[in-house]
Structure 1
């Protein structure tokens, strides 16, 4: 896996937090190479003076961020400046440079910032098949705790394998939500609590068995993994769990699902983004269906 990091930004969105986070990750991966791709949108191109002023300010922002990355983390930085679409420019550049990670800062949007940023992260991850990091918080320290909602599928396993390589030293909690099938109907029919609890215990044993297989598959990275079971209905959710434990990173699997599952996944992901403040790492390991 390449360890170079591509930091893509759209002027005038701030890029300092994303640049610092990218430099921290590069250092953890023993990489000293980081490339800035700064894109100026069409709205900033109207009129020669406006275009030149935007370019000058954009270059100054990149110069400041790259100097900080060099001084604090010893990074060798290069920069490319383009006019146009952030998505299209990033796709083209990633195809040429083949980075190990694409980092982007949270993008301002006048109406739907959560939807806009989720769609950008998802489309970049799926189009480039490259892990895409969406930075929302100031990088005060290296990542310590990441959360990944897993169904223990092959895609989840592949996502964890990539995440473990990208996040050395980071504790990753695998969160699995589950419920007893037909529990509501059983309670309505007067089924005893101990019988329902027995069904729940059977489900938990199955999950723990799947978790044990995951640990076996991911050796030696498995030492950084832990499991959290969230039974439903209890009011607990992945979103509540992320906030409760103060996770600084949420890992998402970007592999595309069948239509209804895809809609449900996108709705849950947008809800999680809207109700948490953690950074987000989306990893896509398979092509679109």
Structure 2
């Protein structure tokens, strides 16, 4: 397992984005990776400012950019003081997502770190415009930070479906939080269970199907632990009957997890358009940070 080499923390200088920067710095300090801090000034906002400015105040735009750079540099100084990490500073003007993606590609970032945004009803609908668009467009592991980074991640919840994505997600997770205890969760539902019940299949027969599904999942989970070369002493294995997103959020609390690791992609074109219904629901509802794994770990 290769350690993280480069991390990109994109910040809009908000409080939640600051949490993300400090988490990125903590991970960089632990992994020895290089950290880059990026702030993108929206070209649309600058155009609107130009429209409002008088001809004699054209220098205000440059002053604004210098003040923004000063804020990012101050944040980098704080990172160095708290975590001993010398972060590179970059301020760009342009389309926010395009500039973040371009810089991530330029430094070949192993991890992109963003703050979660929004609350309540709007948070359910839209995690935060930049965060959600990044999740849709950028094919890199992405850490969505919701909490202050007081310490290294202690325990991570990793929902698995035993596909190749599950193994990939575990490998990414181990690079981001190598010391964390791992809780593997598989939530299952018997295929066509509702239709079988409607068709008159009795509860005893359905229970037998659930027992078989649980037994098979347990064997697959053991194989996954072996494939991922996990230390069995650091792994909890949980197999539960029920809808995936509900079980994930319940186990996040029950197992006291501070990180959830989940795949980005759902099944089929419609799920892809929706970002993946389970992933979207967990991002909106969880209290823990969420690592969205979207490519094979190096």
Could you tell me the TM-score, scaled by structure 2's length?
0.82
Q: How many residues align?
A: 284
| Residues in 2 aligned to 1:12 and 1:191: alpha-carbon distance in whole angstroms | 55
Match of 1:201 in 2: 211
The two structures, once aligned, show a CA RMSD in angstroms of: 3.1
Gaps of 5+ in 1: none
SS of 1:7's partner is strand
Alpha-carbon shift at residue 257 of structure 1 (Å): 3.9
Gaps of 5+ in 2: 51-57
| Residues in 1 aligned to 2:131 and 2:154: alpha-carbon distance in whole angstroms | 22
Alpha-carbon shift at residue 197 of structure 1 (Å): 2.5
Distance 1:115 1:187, change over 3 A: closer
**Which residue of 8, 11, 17 corresponds with 1:9?**
11
Alpha-carbon shift at residue 90 of structure 1 (Å): 1.1
| Residues in 2 aligned to 1:108 and 1:57: alpha-carbon distance in whole angstroms | 26
Match of 2:285 in 1: 275
| Residues in 1 aligned to 2:86 and 2:161: alpha-carbon distance in whole angstroms | 39
Alignment of 1:77-92 (within 5 A): 77-92=87-102
Question: Structure 1 residue 191 and structure 2 residue 202: aligned?
Answer: yes
Match of 2:53 in 1: none
| Residues in 2 aligned to 1:182 and 1:127: alpha-carbon distance in whole angstroms | 33
Match of 1:20 in 2: 22
SS of 1:17's partner is helix
SS of 2:282's partner is helix
| Residues in 1 aligned to 2:207 and 2:7: alpha-carbon distance in whole angstroms | 48
Could you tell me the TM-score, scaled by structure 1's length?
0.84
Q: Is the 8 A contact 1:255 1:285 kept in 2?
A: no
SS of 1:15's partner is helix
Deviations 1:79-118 (A, max 9, x none): 1111122210111111111122111123459x94455447
- Which deviates more from structure 2 when the two are superposed, residues 170-179 or residues 5-14? 5-14
Q: Is the 8 A contact 1:126 1:284 kept in 2?
A: no
**Which residue of 152, 155, 166 corresponds with 1:142?**
152
| Residues in 1 aligned to 2:224 and 2:69: alpha-carbon distance in whole angstroms | 45
| Residues in 1 aligned to 2:191 and 2:254: alpha-carbon distance in whole angstroms | 27
